Chain A
Amino acid sequence: MADEALFLLLHNEMVSGVYKSAEQGEVENGRCITKLENMGFRVGQGLIERFTKDTARFKDELDIMKFICKDFWTTVFKKQIDNLRTNHQGIYVLQDNKFRLLTQLSAGKQYLEHASKYLAFTCGLIRGGLSNLGIKSIVTAEVSSMPACKFQVMIQKL
C-alpha cells in the first residue's frame, strides 16, 4: 500500500493548515507547534497501544528506546533510527540521517527555519508512544542540515 505518500501529504497539509488558521500572535508564542505536538501525542499513544499488544514485556528503559528506534520507527517511517546515544542518565538522542518528513523539503540549509514545524508532530509521536509505555518525557528536535535531524528525549523521573 502506497500510503506513505498519503501520510506525508496529510502531514504537510496539517502543518500548513495549522499555520494558515493561526490567529494573531499564535505563531510567535508557539501555539501552532503545540497543536501539532499534541496531535502527534494522541497518535503516538494510540499507535503504541496497537503495536505492543502482543509483544513481550520490556526489560528496561533502554529496551523501550531501542524498540522506538527500530520497530516503531520502521513502522512509521519505513526505516530505523540511524544512531541512538544515551548518557545512561535519562537522556537519549535519536539521530535520523534521512528523516522522511524532511526529505521533500530541502537537502541542506535551505528552509532551515521552517524545519521545526515539520518535526513537531513527530516529537509528539515519540512522547505519546513513551507515555503509554509508562515513561514521561520531554521530546525536542534539532536540525542542522536537512534531511538529517536529531530527536532528544529527556526522561522525567516522577
Chain B
Amino acid sequence: MSRQANRGTESKKMSSELFTLTYGALVTQLCKDYENDEDVNKQLDRMGYNIGVRLIEDFLARSNVGRCHDFRETADVIAKVAFKMYLGITPSITNWSPAGDEFSLILENNPLVDFVELPDSHSSLIYSNLLCGVLRGALEMVQMAVEAKFVQDTLKGDGVTEIRMRFLRRIEDNLPAGEE
C-alpha cells in the first residue's frame, strides 16, 4: 500500500521535472542558436506569449473561475490558482502600487530553475523569461494588456525571484470595420 503511494508522489515530482528538464534543454538550445542573451530573452518571451494565449483556455476550462472585476482579483487568481495548477507553487503578492495597477509576485522557489546554474558568460540571460511571456499572452486573451518582468532572480544571487506585473490598459474588442 505504502509502496504504491510512494510511486504516486514520485511520478508527480517526475512530471514536474520533465517540464523543468525540457525547459532547460530549450534554453540551452536557444543559447546555442542565438549569439547574445538579449535575443534569447526575446525568443523566450515570444514563445511564452504563444503558450500563454493557448494556456488561458485550458486554465479557464479547468479552474472555472469567473471574470475578474479588478486587477487585485486578477493577481489573486494568478498566484493562488494558476501558478498552483501549473507549477505547483503559490507565489505571494506584495508591493502594490498606490494606484493599484502594479504588484509583485514573489516566488520563494522557482521550479524552472531546479537544476540550473547560470554561467558568467550569460549574466544577462533572463532564464525564466518564458513565464513573463505566458502571463502577458494569457492576460491579453482576457482583455488585459500587462507588462511582466523579472526584477529579482535567485539565479543571479537574489534571495527570491520577483516578477513585477504592471497593468497597462484594458483591451477593447475591435469590431471589424463596417460593423456597429
Given contacts A7-B22, A10-B23, A39-B26, contact A50 B85 (CB under 8 A): no
B25 touches A42 (CB 8 A): yes
Check: B51 CB closer than 8 A to any chain A CB: yes
- Which candidate, A11-19, A58-66, A130-138, is the interface stretch facing chain B? A11-19
Q: How many residues of B contact A (CB 8 A)?
A: 31
Q: Is the interface of A mostly helix, strand, loop or mixed?
A: helix
B29 touches A47 (CB 8 A): no
Closest to A42 in B: B25
* Most interface-central of A4, A6, A42, A74 (chain B CB within 10 A): A6
Closest to A14 in B: B26
Check: B19 CB closer than 8 A to any chain A CB: yes
A3 touches B86 (CB 8 A): yes
Given contacts A46-B21, A50-B14, contact A5 B26 (CB under 8 A): no
A6 touches B55 (CB 8 A): yes
Given contacts A1-B88, A43-B25, contact A10 B17 (CB under 8 A): no
Q: How many residues of A contact B (CB 8 A)?
A: 29
Check: A56 CB closer than 8 A to any chain B CB: no
Q: A18, A39, A75: which contacts B18 (Cβ < 8 A)?
A: A75
Q: How far is the CB of A141 from chain B (nearest CB, A)?
A: 18
Q: B11, B15, B47: which contacts A13 (Cβ < 8 A)?
A: B47
Given contacts A5-B58, A21-B33, A42-B25, contact A47 B51 (CB under 8 A): no
A47 touches B47 (CB 8 A): no
Q: How far is the CB of B60 from chain A (nearest CB, A)?
A: 12
A6 touches B86 (CB 8 A): yes
Given contacts A3-B19, A42-B25, contact A9 B55 (CB under 8 A): yes
Check: A51 CB closer than 8 A to any chain B CB: yes
Bound Cα distance from A2 to B86, whole angstroms: 5
B22 touches A10 (CB 8 A): yes
Q: How far is the CB of A116 from chain B (nearest CB, A)?
A: 18
Check: A107 CB closer than 8 A to any chain B CB: no
A10 touches B26 (CB 8 A): yes
Check: A27 CB closer than 8 A to any chain B CB: no
B25 touches A4 (CB 8 A): no
Bound Cα distance from A14 to B23, whole angstroms: 9
Closest to A40 in B: B25
Given contacts A9-B51, A9-B55, A21-B33, contact A1 B25 (CB under 8 A): no
B11 touches A74 (CB 8 A): yes
- Give me the interface of B with A, judged by CB distance under 8 Å: 11-12, 14-19, 21-26, 28-29, 33, 43, 47, 50-51, 54-55, 58, 62, 85-88, 115, 130
Interface pairs (11), CB distance under 8 Å: A1-B87, A2-B58, A3-B16, A5-B86, A10-B51, A13-B50, A17-B43, A43-B22, A43-B24, A47-B14, A75-B11
- Give me the interface of A with B, judged by CB distance under 8 Å: 1-7, 9-11, 13-14, 16-18, 21, 35, 38-40, 42-43, 46-47, 50-51, 74-76
